[in-house]
Amino acid sequence: MAEIAPVSGVRLAAGAAGIRYRDRDDLVLMELAEGSAVAAVFTQNAFCAAPVVVARQHLAKVAPRYLLINSGNANAGTGENGLAACVETCRLLAAATGVAMNQVLPFSTGVIGEDLPTEPFARTIPGLLSGLEEDNWQAAARAIMTTDTRPKLASRRFEVDGRMLTVTGMCKGSGMIRPDMATMLAYVATDALCDRDSLQQILEDAVAPSFNSITVDGDTSTNDACVLVASGASGMDVSNADSEAGRLYRQAVQEVCMELATAIVADGEGATKLVEIRVEEASSEAEARDVAYTVAHSPLVKTALFASDPNWGRILAAVGRAGVQGLDIDRVRIWLDDLCIVSAGGRDSGYTEEAGQAVMEKAAFSIRIALGRGEAAARILTCDLSFDYVKINAEYRT
């Protein structure tokens, strides 16, 4: 893994609260320098978790000073008890630090439908406060994991007018991954100076082609959140998108988000293949995305990917049922990498099963679909569906 650079103005700590897991860290604290700007996007799932409700409310009122993240318990589907527990965790941290309660943003990930105990927070918060360090990103990334097999982190550094700026992020996510915001928990921090409105736009622009263009299993979580922090410690203002600093900053944030999003799909539960699906020549981007997701979510396509079986008929059938009105099948072409498998309404005349299997046996490859209807395009990342995906999710609570 490339070096993960600390971000001036942001300190982290991880501790073992025993909320669900034993003998591992499961609670993370992020301290943000006073004056930090914070932007966030959240799940669109109607059954959003208690921490999503509370974090939205707090963020709308005041600039946050702390992020409090637990794994093992989602605190979702827990009704008023869940909201009360979430507020209590914020109160505990506020009392220990002297900040206002709504300057704490809570986040949770884990099993849905179980009450969140607050005593582990009370017991662990003092140690977290004493352990805050700028270079604790690795420990924090491990502590927020659930079914992830490895921590997911990324950093970019760039220089403007002799000053070095840093963008570093971490995320967790492996299953229940489908975009409708961000589809996981992700935290990206920078030492840049940025006004909140600009920061929110930067985040939304970065999320669209990254976290909102991935899918493992088609399920949108109740707890999804993605946060972008600008501590301002560098003194370099990146609010203006037309400035060199603003341009480089936006590029760095997008690169970090894309690297993290790719890591989520590559670590999909039981995944053995990383597959890019690109739909071109669509009449609109929405149409292109609909086709891409229909292919990506097909259990028949995903199991064929796992088996390295070039069963191109499954891809063809998924395109055909994607709801494209007036689709002229004679104009549709489909490729595995650069190998054309479908043209003129059927198997391409130059296609061979051996060549198709050679592509499918790769750990990473692309499925490209041209609809012959326009100039719009969309790209998403997905993975295969293996025996282990079923096993992991069948045994998740046992």
Q: Quick check: is 183 catalytic?
A: yes
Reference 249, options 223, 231, 267; nearest CA is: 231
**What's the token pair of residue 324?**
């494209």
Sketch the domain layout of the chain as residue ranges: 10-266, 274-394
Are 193 and 199 within 8 A, CB to CB?
A: no
> In which element (H, E) is residue 320 found?
helix 312-320
pLDDT digits (tens, 9 = 90+) for 162-179: 999 999 999 998 766 665
- Ranges assigned E (strand) in the chain: 10-15, 27-32, 37-42, 66-73, 104-111, 152-160, 163-172, 185-190, 225-230, 274-282, 333-336, 339-343, 346-347, 364-370, 376-383
Residues above pLDDT 70, as percent of the chain:
96
The per-residue pLDDT for 182 is: 41
**Per-residue confidence band for 390, with pLDDT thresholds at 50, 70 and 90:** confident
Record the tokens describing residue 351, joined without a space.
């296609």
Tell me which residue has tokens 């999503």. 52
CATH of domain 274-394: 3.10.20.340
Q: Band the pLDDT of 183: cuts 50, 70, 90.
A: very low
pLDDT tens for 5-42 read 999 999 999 999 999 988 899 999 999 999 999 999 99
**pLDDT at residue 271 in the model:** 86
| Partners of residue 333 on adjacent β-strands | 370
Under CATH, which number does the domain 10-266 receive?
3.60.70.12
Q: How far apart are CA 189 and CA 36, in angstroms?
A: 10
Which is catalytic among the residues 183, 190, 215, 220? 183
Residue 44 pLDDT more than 90? no
pLDDT digits (tens, 9 = 90+) for 100-123: 999 999 999 998 999 999 999 999
- β-partners of residue 196 are none
Q: Please tell me the predicted confidence (pLDDT) of residue 180.
A: 54
pLDDT mean over 211-237: 87
